[in-house]
Amino acid sequence: MIAPFTYQNTISQKFPSRSKSSSGLSQVFAAAVVNQQFCKMLLQDPSIAIQKGYLGQTFSLSKEEQDLITSIRANSLSDLAKQVNHSLLSNY
> At CA 90, angle to CA 33 and CA 46, rounded to 5?
35
Residue 73 has pLDDT above 80, yes or no: yes
The span from the CA of 53 to the CA of 66, in Å, is 12
Is there a contact between 45 and 51 (Cβ–Cβ < 8 Å)?
Answer: no
Between 22 and 79, name the one with better pLDDT: 79
Mean pLDDT of 59-80: 95
Q: What average pLDDT is seen over the chain?
A: 83
Could you tell me where the beta strands, DSSP code E, fall in the chain?
A: none
Give the pTM. 0.73
